[in-house]
């Protein structure tokens, strides 16, 4: 069996031991004689699976006891609506509340645009003026803000918040889809954390929401049941059929993370991986990082030609794929290339990419010609 190094931004690669265990248990999970995909979500067979997954997540992230963990569907994109509905939604005839958003890229902007349907979403800072290549200074919240929303890691443009904003009593809300468990995080700093699983936790289709209990139960009465945190919390993520198989895979990934030493150990490894690639880009005569140094992501590393050449980019992506390094094309809104090096990407994968880039650069310098 040939395994490639998958640099996709999501759905991304999963740890091989997790895939192998899932394959071995496909038809008989935990000695039940059935697949997780066949289990009733309310059965005695599935209960230990979801409880184990939540317990591991609480342990690995240090989630305080006054926070609830929900396993939902709809991706992070649905949370763009659920957060304002539940924290700042207004009943008919009531004035709309305000919420602060920091615009640091495509997904941060989408969150604000969706939020604006339910609250007065104010963009308090933005890095759009320099193509989102930095994190802007975040102003203090206003006393009447319902919440303060940030995107700590920006998948498309490859930026990262090096320090969290201080929001006082205003709940800090964050989309951590592309950085969850990639480094240590103080959950108590936040009111709500949410993450689509398909980057660092598991397969697409499951969304993890971590919410402080005092923020539950604030949705206006007209809020649809499926969009209410209080209903999902009361029903232990089982108001309807949850994404059972995704929850099971997340549990296996969390066991793998635990075996690796937890978020602290992964953070050290992730810093090493990112440093390898950035070090090459700093000295390369063919490629460069478009992101300002203090704000560079450890998870998503875009790079472009020193002299922009779309045809050369296509050739690089094609030849990299032939060498077993796949999904390196940059986002369609940005162009160039991008290497997503999430937790499951081994250091050997980054070393293989750097070696290929060095060889590609040498071929270019020997005159294979641009776009030919």
Catalytic (active-site) positions: 107, 175, 199
**Structure tokens, 19:** 């895939």
| Rounded Cα–Cα distance for residues 123 and 85 (Å) | 18
Long-range contacts from 28-37, C-beta under 8 angstroms, 24+ separation: 29/248, 36/244, 36/245, 36/248, 37/244, 37/245
Give Cα 340 to chain centroid, integer Å.
11
202: enclosing H helix or E strand: none
Do 170 and 150 meet the contact criterion of CB atoms below 8 Å apart?
A: no
Region for residue 93 given its phi and psi (left: phi exceeds 0; alpha: psi -120 to 50; beta: otherwise): left
Q: Strands, DSSP E only, in the chain?
A: 5-6, 67-72, 98-103, 120-126, 145-150, 153-154, 159-160, 172-175, 192-196, 207-212, 287-288, 300-305, 325-326, 337-340
> 3-state class of 268 per DSSP?
helix
Helix, strand, coil percent values for the chain (each to nearest 5)? 40, 15, 45
Sequence-separated (6 or more) residues with CB below 8 Å from residue 133:
127, 157, 159, 290, 291, 292, 295
Q: Which of 186, 202, 192 is nearest to 170 (CA)?
A: 192
The angle subtended at Cα 173 by Cα 105 and Cα 266, nearest 5°, is 75
Contacts of 268 (CB under 8 A, 6+ apart): none
Q: Hey, what are 251's tokens?
A: 């549990």
User: Residue 189 corresponds to which tokens in the numbers above?
Assistant: 């700093």
Residue 7: half-sphere exposure toward Cβ, Cα within 13 Å: 31
Distances from the Cα of 368 to the Cαs of 148, 355, 362, in angstroms? 51, 18, 10
Residues whose CB is less than 8 angstroms from the CB of residue 119 and which lie 6 or more positions away in sequence, other chains included: 84, 88, 89, 90, 96, 97, 98, 99, 146
């Amino acid at each position: 069996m040939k395994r490639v190094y998958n640099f996709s931004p999501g759905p991304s690669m999963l740890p091989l031991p997790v895939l192998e265990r899932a394959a071995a248990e496909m038809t008989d999970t935990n000695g039940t004689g059935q697949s997780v995909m066949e289990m009733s979500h309310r059965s005695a067979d599935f209960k230990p699976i979801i409880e184990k997954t939540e317990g591991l997540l609480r342990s690995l992230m240090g989630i305080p006891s006054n926070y609830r963990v929900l396993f939902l569907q709809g991706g992070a994109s649905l949370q763009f609506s659920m957060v304002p509905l539940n924290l700042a939604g207004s009943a008919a005839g009531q004035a709309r509340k305000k919420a602060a958003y920091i615009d640091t890229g495509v997904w941060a902007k989408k969150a604000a645009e969706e939020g604006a349907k339910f609250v007065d979403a104010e963009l308090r800072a933005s890095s759009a003026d320099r193509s989102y290549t930095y994190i802007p200074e975040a102003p203090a919240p206003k006393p009447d803000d319902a919440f303060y929303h940030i995107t700590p890691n920006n998948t498309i443009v490859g930026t990262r918040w090096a320090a969290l904003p201080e929001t006082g009593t205003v709940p800090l809300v964050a989309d951590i889809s592309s950085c969850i468990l990639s480094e240590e995080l103080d959950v108590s700093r936040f009111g709500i954390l949410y993450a689509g699983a398909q980057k660092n936790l598991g397969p697409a289709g499951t969304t993890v929401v971590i919410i402080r209990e005092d923020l539950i139960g604030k949705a206006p009465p007209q809020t649809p049941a499926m969009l209410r945190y209080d209903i999902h919390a009361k029903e232990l993520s089982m108001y309807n059929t949850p994404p059972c198989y995704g929850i099971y895979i997340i549990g296996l990934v969390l066991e793998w993370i635990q075996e690796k030493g937890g978020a602290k150990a992964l953070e050290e490894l992730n810093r090493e991986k990112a440093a390898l690639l950035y070090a090459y880009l700093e000295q390369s005569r063919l490629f460069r990082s478009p992101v300002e140094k203090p704000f560079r992501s450890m998870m998503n590393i875009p790079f472009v030609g020193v002299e922009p050449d779309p045809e050369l980019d296509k050739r690089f992506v094609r030849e990299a794929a032939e060498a077993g390094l796949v999904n390196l094309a940059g986002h369609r809104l940005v162009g160039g290339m991008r290497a997503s090096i999430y937790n499951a990407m081994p250091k050997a994968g980054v070393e293989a990419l750097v070696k290929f880039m060095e060889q590609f650069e040498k071929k270019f310098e020997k005159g294979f010609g641009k776009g030919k």
